[in-house]
């Protein structure tokens, strides 16, 4: 197995352990045992548990948001909002346990000097909203409405794609109507 493939395999298995045990509960010894490697092997690939955790989280969390925002360029404001909502809600459905883990460990990661993924998401959303003519002079309100709607799925997840689509359609109409009236 190539080194990069082995590294990715370790990351994938480690994320399962982090989700099951939490960041603090997933010691390097526990990670090595669950992954099926020697602890020293982990340190050949990653300098710390923190580096391993971020290697699993960052591509999933940050890159998926960047990719979805870059895919939403060539359409009207309403369709941009609809696409963003749908993509983010699908992302939450597919990565619910991982996102819960990040939120649970947010304070610890902040104290450790790591990136705040929520702040990164907010910054990306602000840029997205700034480019919406519909939202001009209402950026903060639109940000709160979008973020609140998206984050509500963390606490009330929806697994049925048809329900997600229906929710996205209704929410998009409500948001656009509200923005236009205010």
- Architecture of the domain defined by 1-46: Orthogonal Bundle (1.10)
- CA nearest neighbour of 81 among 121, 119, 135, 117: 135
Which tokens is 117 given? 């993924």
pLDDT in tens, 97-116: 888 888 787 776 666 655 66
pLDDT in tens, 137-163: 888 888 998 889 888 888 888 878 888
Average pLDDT over the chain, rounded to an integer: 86
Fold of 50-181: Tetracycline Repressor; domain 2 (1.10.357)
Predicted pLDDT of residue 19:
92
Is the Cβ–Cβ distance between 158 and 164 less than 8 Å? Answer: yes
Mean pLDDT of 65-85: 82
Whether the per-residue pLDDT at 52 is higher than 90: the answer is yes
pLDDT in tens, 116-140: 677 778 888 898 888 888 778 888 8
Domain(s) labelled CATH 1.10.10.60 in the chain stretch across 1-46
> Cβ atoms within 10 A of the Cβ of 82, count?
21
SS3 109: helix
Give 36's DSSP letter: T
CA distance 154 to 1: 37
Domain(s) labelled CATH 1.10.357.10 in the chain stretch across 50-181
Residue with tokens 């656009």: 176
CA distance 36 to 83: 40
Predicted pLDDT of residue 92:
86
pLDDT tier for residue 58 given thresholds of 50, 70 and 90? confident
Whether the per-residue pLDDT at 32 is higher than 90: the answer is yes
């Amino acid at each position: 197995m190539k080194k990069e493939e082995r590294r990715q395999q370790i990351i994938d298995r480690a994320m399962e352990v982090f989700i099951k045990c939490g960041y603090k509960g997933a010691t390097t010894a526990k990670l090595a045992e669950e992954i099926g490697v020697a602890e020293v092997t982990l340190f050949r690939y990653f300098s710390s548990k923190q580096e391993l955790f971020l290697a699993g989280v960052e591509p999933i969390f940050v890159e998926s948001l960047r990719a979805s925002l870059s895919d939403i360029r060539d359409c009207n404001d309403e369709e941009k909002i609809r696409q963003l909502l749908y993509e983010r809600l699908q992302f939450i459905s597919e990565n619910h346990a991982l996102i819960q883990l990040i939120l649970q460990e947010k304070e610890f990661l902040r104290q450790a000097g790591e990136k705040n993924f929520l702040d990164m998401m907010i910054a990306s959303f602000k840029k997205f909203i700034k480019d919406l003519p519909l939202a001009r002079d209402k950026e903060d309100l639109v940000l709160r409405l979008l973020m609140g709607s998206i984050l509500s799925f963390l606490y009330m997840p929806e697994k049925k794609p048809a329900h997600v689509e229906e929710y996205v359609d209704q929410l998009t109409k409500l948001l656009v109507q509200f923005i236009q009236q205010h």
